[in-house]
Amino acid sequence: MLAPKKVVHRKVQKGRRRGEAQKGNDVSFGDFGLLATADGWITARQIEAGRIAIMRKIRKFGRMWIRMFPDKPIGKKPAETRMGKGKAAPDVWVAVIKKGRMLYEVADCPDEMALDALKRAAHKLPLTTKIVKRGTVIP
Q: Residues 24-70: pLDDT tens digits?
A: 899 999 999 999 999 999 999 999 999 999 999 998 889 999 999 99
How does the average pLDDT of the chain come out, rounded?
Answer: 92
- Is residue 26, in this structure, part of any structural domain at all? no
Structural domain count of the chain: 1
User: Per-residue pLDDT averaged across 11-33, rounded?
Assistant: 91
- Is residue 113, in this structure, part of any structural domain at all? yes
Where residue 115 sits, what CATH number does that domain have?
A: 3.90.1170.10
- Is residue 85, in this structure, part of any structural domain at all? no
Task: Give me the half-sphere count of Cα atoms (radius 13 Å) on the Cβ side of residue 101.
Answer: 22
The verdict on pTM exceeding 0.85 is yes
Q: How confident is the model at residue 136 (pLDDT cuts 50, 70, 90)?
A: confident
- Is residue 21, in this structure, part of any structural domain at all? no
Q: How confident is the model at residue 138 (pLDDT cuts 50, 70, 90)?
A: low
Provide the greatest CA pair distance for the chain.
55
Residue 40: give the domain boundaries: 32-75+90-133
Per-residue pLDDT for 95 more than 70? Answer: yes
- Is residue 48, in this structure, part of any structural domain at all? yes
User: 63-97 burial, b for 16+ CB within 10 Å, e for fewer?
Assistant: ebbbbbebebbbeeeeeeeeeeeeeeebebbbbbb
